[in-house]
Structure 1
């Protein structure tokens, strides 16, 4: 079992499970883009085994690395999720929980459906990669997945509705203490639900399933975008007046994972509409969709990292002695940029015929995604050691 946090418990620790699940995705993309999978939009166990048997030693090494990475981070994700769920149950009985719910920080509870939605997505990856014959019954699994995501999304709506009722309906939001993008976390949670709901649109052969997937995913994606727009304007206004909250500075990068999730959802929806609704966008459609979103991510990174560097965040909370659960929010941008780069190169540049797959230019374009992946893995290991290593702090007494 995972040891207790050394900082006291807050729901932001669900981001540790989210980050591990995101790193699972980065390894799955090796198989997604480098293993042939004719007949379906994603690779399955049979495709991977065929490539492993007939492939070169380099291909075999890539597949083994992907398998190992998916399995290792699936383990970390599940372990962290179980620990968080158990610890949160105990935390609810403490004065710290009441204090949390009586402040702006009550929106941190949306990290729970965020991590749960990632866990369902991660479970689907495990099935595709390790379960023989899964594709033969996948049409029966899609309705179950839709139900799971609707339940998670409904849970998120309930939590967020309760938070809004308490903050806006009664006490109000402390705008001076809202000097970060922490209130955008609910948008990320709903976007994660939306991208999961969009998966059947890209993979199902049943038109009714695709239609339900398109409608439900559109609801959660648009909800996420509205919340993100409003909360980021509010947060930016508070930062202009009071400066950015140093401890919550990683939230300045939250638009990066949010845009990656939205981009993947739109790609899935586009594929479903192309196959089932005769909506055609041309060879460069993915490129024109991904390019502005990728540029927005780079602008966000420049803004966020500039502020964090000015505040000395990394020397305080990453390499230095101070600990903050919000540091786990830094894992998401690293994962998200790595994933977006893979999609931009493979679906955008290769798909539009701008570069040739597996050429020298292709690998040069892919290298930043792989470097980001390695750097993010190192960050996760560093944070886990910093927050869960050594002495233990009783969670029941945490504020």
Structure 2
């Protein structure tokens, strides 16, 4: 009999979908360079032709920025898709096993919502790849929007089916939901998944010139967004109550920060809806209203960032699961808050401060806020590959198991 040391990722958990999610989110952060720093007259987002024109007509700094953005998008999109495929294969192997039976009969069943969450992010990444790499895409984009709505709708159905199984079990059988194990924000993962579907569903509202397409996008994104908000409120209140009674579960400490990406994703959804209502349906809005709205969301994010870091530091989470000997798939949940803050800073700066006239675009103040966003992004890129080495690299002394 021979034995083979296992990598942490070989002890599979659906939370490893967060590895794919984090890589996809980071790919989007590099697209923010193009979105806000490359002129794109004629459409709400930059396309290949806009980027090529800026590259050929720009100086070394502009060309360098575009090159960095393209490399970042390509590398991280590759990891997003690679990890998604790996997760789907592992997920299929997990089904029907004793581990699956245990997972689907405990509070941890909602971890399965990490799959639709990652799927929705990958659809968004696919759209980013199309905008950045495919010439002439905007000429056929109106045909792609209905396909995107179908894709996000299917992912939303999957999420609701998984939630239906969970609620059907815990709300019809007394005592199957362990309140003592609810002492974290782990149950907010379904809200995160629904919000990711909502923001994807809202994209055609911001970009389509066909009223029917934009209208379906507005209605569908509102449905999924409201569902995400309702679920988040209930799960956060009950989870916080349990944490006050039993303390925060140490391995689930990063879930305290999941409010941050939910705020960013829902915030972008509302911005997309607002853009669609203004440009397609003639609604009126003021830039200062957007500034105040984004500032409120950022206030919530900063509060939960501080709360999360207090708890993680007190519990010694970093020494245990990030830089020490312990490994937890839940550590990948730490990538999403950083990605969300980086993206939110871009929107707060450009569609809030600049649009309302408080900061001039490309001024010293503008680049100071942009530098903060980029710094967070760079740290998250490093952190992503650090976790990938720990979880997917060579075994660091994991217990040996018999080889089949």
Q: Same fold by TM (over 0.5)?
A: yes
Of 351, 356, 363, the match for 1:359: 363
User: 1:124-155 deviations in whole A, cap 9, x for unaligned?
Assistant: 00000000000000000000000000000001
Does 1:313 find its partner at 2:317?
A: yes
Does 1:256 find its partner at 2:260?
A: yes
Mapped to 2, the partners of 1:152 and 1:5 lie a distance apart of 28
Regions of 4+ moved over 2 Å: 3-7, 391-394
Q: CA deviation at 1:284?
A: 1.6
Mapped to 2, the partners of 1:57 and 1:316 lie a distance apart of 44
Of 229, 236, 240, the match for 1:236: 240
User: 1:261-290 deviations in whole A, cap 9, x for unaligned?
Assistant: 000000000000001222111122321210
Given that 2:341 and 2:373 are in contact with CA atoms closer than 8 Å, whether structure 1 keeps it comes out as yes
Does 1:140 find its partner at 2:143?
A: yes
Tell me whether 171-180 or 50-59 shows the greater mean CA deviation. 171-180
Of 322, 328, 334, the match for 2:326: 322
Given that 1:153 and 1:193 are in contact with CA atoms closer than 8 Å, whether structure 2 keeps it comes out as yes
Of 10, 13, 17, the match for 1:14: 17
Q: Any idea what SS the aligned residue of 2:344 has?
A: helix
Does 1:159 find its partner at 2:162?
A: yes
- Aligned partner of 1:198 in structure 2 is 202
Q: Any idea what SS the aligned residue of 1:247 has?
A: helix
Tell me whether 93-102 or 181-190 shows the greater mean CA deviation. 93-102
- Aligned partner of 1:270 in structure 2 is 274
Given that 1:7 and 1:323 are in contact with CA atoms closer than 8 Å, whether structure 2 keeps it comes out as no
| TM-score, normalization by structure 2 | 0.96
Q: CA deviation at 1:307?
A: 0.6
Aligned length: 395
- Aligned partner of 1:109 in structure 2 is 112
* 1:64-83 alignment runs, 5 A limit: 64-83=67-86
CA RMSD of aligned residues (A): 1.6
Given that 1:338 and 1:369 are in contact with CA atoms closer than 8 Å, whether structure 2 keeps it comes out as yes
Q: CA deviation at 1:93?
A: 2.9
Q: CA deviation at 1:4?
A: 5.7
Given that 2:145 and 2:204 are in contact with CA atoms closer than 8 Å, whether structure 1 keeps it comes out as yes
Of 173, 184, 187, the match for 1:183: 187
Given that 2:35 and 2:46 are in contact with CA atoms closer than 8 Å, whether structure 1 keeps it comes out as yes
- Aligned partner of 1:216 in structure 2 is 220
Mapped to 1, the partners of 2:120 and 2:197 lie a distance apart of 6
Does 1:41 find its partner at 2:44?
A: yes
Given that 2:106 and 2:176 are in contact with CA atoms closer than 8 Å, whether structure 1 keeps it comes out as no
Of 2, 26, 43, the match for 1:23: 26
Q: CA deviation at 1:331?
A: 0.4
Q: CA deviation at 1:5?
A: 3.9
Mapped to 2, the partners of 1:63 and 1:31 lie a distance apart of 7
Given that 1:6 and 1:391 are in contact with CA atoms closer than 8 Å, whether structure 2 keeps it comes out as no
User: 1:303-334 deviations in whole A, cap 9, x for unaligned?
Assistant: 11111110011111111111000000000000
5+ residue gaps, structure 2: 1-5
Given that 1:113 and 1:189 are in contact with CA atoms closer than 8 Å, whether structure 2 keeps it comes out as yes
5+ residue gaps, structure 1: none
Mapped to 2, the partners of 1:331 and 1:218 lie a distance apart of 26
Given that 2:201 and 2:221 are in contact with CA atoms closer than 8 Å, whether structure 1 keeps it comes out as yes
